[in-house]
Structure 1
Amino acid sequence: MQTITIQRRASVPDELRVARCLSAPHRGPRLLFFSGGSALNGISRQLKRYTHNSAHLITPFDSGGSSEVLRKAFGMPAVGDLRSRLMALAEETDLGQPDIVRLFSHRFGLEGCPDALECEVEQVLSGEHPLVRAVPQPMRMLVVSHLQTFAQNAPVDFDYAKGSVGNLVLAGGYLGNERLLEPVLFMMSKMMDVLGTVRSVVDVNLHIGAEYEDGSVVIGQKEITGKEVPAPKARIRRLFLADDTGEVPPEEVVLPLRNQRLIRKADLICYPPGSLYSSVAANLLPARVGQEIAETNVPKIYVPSLGQDPECHGMTLSDQVGALIKVLRADAGHEVPAKALMTHVICDVSVPVSDCAAVTLDYGIPCVRLPLAEGSGQLYDEKAFCEMLVSLV
């Protein structure tokens, strides 16, 4: 696809393409996102209006929040980002969220005393809580089965405070299905009528690690993001996967065939807004990701985050592009042209022209500036973002 075509379609959304998607989203384009965190959830809710065929490969390497508690208790991948994306893509009615979505989004003990928390947990795990009882059969029976599997395996000192019921159901399903995520993700997708595909990029219990230019090395997503604890005041030189014993060679963590097929079938690949390393690049680390992307002849779009990303210490837009290309080339091969891995960068008009020009100068990748931010300039306008993407296919 020529640069001028991308720029014309994106800057003035193709009304026919957009209208076609709005009238028949079940036949919408297959947009593939390498994502994690919450940055894309609002856009995903809007995206349901345009296509029911988006695919989201989500990082399971989160090490903070309630996911951290589950990971320490059960030695399992992080499920919080998977749950939140499933809920973002769940079908909604004129009356709002279905009962099953309300249950999965409920968190324990946001207010009240410890005794109240204990009582609430007991009600949920036994299936007697009003939110559980509101779920119709036979879904309720399946949910309770997973909750009881969780309860049977949970440590006696497990901390339920602020934990998500949806995370407990995912954990129970994981433990009851030979420690596999895919079966329970499929089940939850069907329960919530998820309008798209949500998968863990790999089904392994690993962490991300970062080596910095000052020589320091940290292990764990929350150590890198700079959101829960201060991140090192240096640029990341290299990202890698690690277990409890240290770094894991990339060839030992291979993208599953089912996810390789998602890449091959995509109409467009998007490296979306989100923390550059822990939400986007982390998904590109497994073996075969870079190779499959290089061999897929579709638009491959990078849309950088708005505002400051604590992970991008002193990095320009061109540096951010280079960081993603570096991770992809580690698998695809250093001789692979940058444009085989990323065909275009699309950013808001608030990005200086000189920053865009530097991307093209350094990597030969066209950079298109478009009015995509909402009024505050801190977030993308969800409608404009979605119509831009579907106009490119």
Structure 2
Amino acid sequence: MSAPRVVALGGGHGLAASLQSLRHLTEEITAVVTVADDGGSSGRLRNEFGILPPGDLRMALAALCEDTAWGHQWSAVLQHRLGGNGELAGHALGNLLIMSLWELLDSPVGGLDLVGKLLNTRGRVLPMCEVPLDIEATVVGADPAAPDEITVVQGQSLVAKTPGRVINVRIVPESPTASQPAVEAIKLADWVILGPGSWFTSVMPHLLVPDIQEAIVHTPARRILTLNVGLDDDETQGFSPAEHVEVLSAHAPDLTLDFVIADPAVVRSEEKALREVAQGVGAELIVSPVRKMRRPREHDTLRLAAAYRDVIIGG
């Protein structure tokens, strides 16, 4: 029986957790990563050189490194941040390596593939688009002094920490060209996984790129939505588990799902509402303990791997 081909979509720590979990099940993994980050080292490099923000791509590569001394060492190199107070202070070394390869090869995908060879990654990392994007959100109550006022917040880093309630999100430019290798990977996948991650700035941007959304909607692959284990971050403050699924569906009305995975601590007394909303998009709700015991706002990669195994191998 051949290993399942899995495409995981997202960005940041959520995608990294998903990738580390999937490595226990298959080596046929493709990470499709959002490219809207505008903060930290990635934002600085993006602004100065006009490149894709490399940070989320770097984290995905590190998550897929081979489980050997060589892989762990190079993963640590990628993640290492430079100290001091100079111009390079705070930059992740992997971001600089990726940027250098992009300049040498003049190919975002080619540069990432070369880093993957260096780490001997178990899978492939692709950008969602080959141009940097911006996140724009319509927010109610972004100014605490005017809780009913509707404003527009632009920029991933600002949307991620807005104190208001996000009504909807868009990407700028509105209809960017998707990475064709990413589109092809989704079309050829056996399983497509959305989440976990920052809901409006890591999970949903994939559904805002027309060609990526179309590929997700029409792929013959089965689709899993992984809910976060902490639902009270700034982006989704006050959103119930069911509303997380509803807002996703509102931005991609034609999207159907096969499974929604949620931790019992997240579901609690709202399991019935979440199950009904999941059924409304064609999905079976899977309630499984996937969070860390001592850090309950983070996914436990072994527990998440077990949940994925039960769905993917059993599904």
Aligned to 1:356: 271
Q: Does 1:176 align with 2:99?
A: no
After superposing on structure 2, the runs of 4+ consecutive aligned residues of structure 1 that deviate more than 6 Å are: none
Q: Does 1:315 align with 2:249?
A: no
Aligned to 2:77: 103
Q: Does 1:249 align with 2:178?
A: no
State how far apart, in whole Å, the 1-side matches of 2:205 and 2:111 are.
23
Structure 1 residue 198: Cα displacement? 0.7
| 8 Å contact kept, 1:29–1:390 | no
Aligned to 1:260: 183
1:318–1:49 CA distance, 2 compared to 1 (3 A) = closer
Counterpart residue identity of residue 250, structure 2: K
Residue pairs, 1:1-393, within 5 angstroms: 27-93=2-68, 95=69, 97=71, 99-109=73-83, 114=85, 159-178=87-106, 180-213=107-140, 214-226=149-161, 231-233=162-164, 235-242=165-172, 248-250=173-175, 253-307=176-230, 308-329=232-253, 336=254, 340-352=255-267, 354-362=269-277, 364=280, 365-376=283-294, 377-393=296-312
Q: Percent identity?
A: 25
Unaligned runs of 5+ in 1: 1-19, 21-26, 118-158, 243-247, 330-335
Name the Cα RMSD after superposition: 2.1
Counterpart residue identity of residue 216, structure 1: T
Secondary structure class of the residue paired with 2:236: coil
Question: 1:9-61, CA deviations, whole angstroms, 9 ceiling, x for partnerless residues?
Answer: xxxxxxxxxxx8xxxxxx53222111101123244334323211111111111
State how far apart, in whole Å, the 2-side matches of 1:302 and 1:72 are.
33
Greater relative contact order structure (CA < 8 Å, 6+ sep): 1
Secondary structure class of the residue paired with 2:12: coil
State how far apart, in whole Å, the 2-side matches of 1:351 and 1:170 are.
37
Counterpart residue identity of residue 391, structure 1: D
Aligned to 2:143: none
Return the TM-score normalized by structure 2: 0.87
State how far apart, in whole Å, the 2-side matches of 1:238 and 1:371 are.
30
Return the TM-score normalized by structure 1: 0.71
1:104–1:375 CA distance, 2 compared to 1 (3 A) = closer
Unaligned runs of 5+ in 2: 141-148
| 8 Å contact kept, 2:291–2:299 | yes
Structure 1 residue 208: Cα displacement? 1.0
1:327–1:163 CA distance, 2 compared to 1 (3 A) = same
Structure 1 residue 374: Cα displacement? 2.8
Structure 1 residue 203: Cα displacement? 0.8
Structure 1 residue 98: Cα displacement? 5.3
| 8 Å contact kept, 2:70–2:119 | no
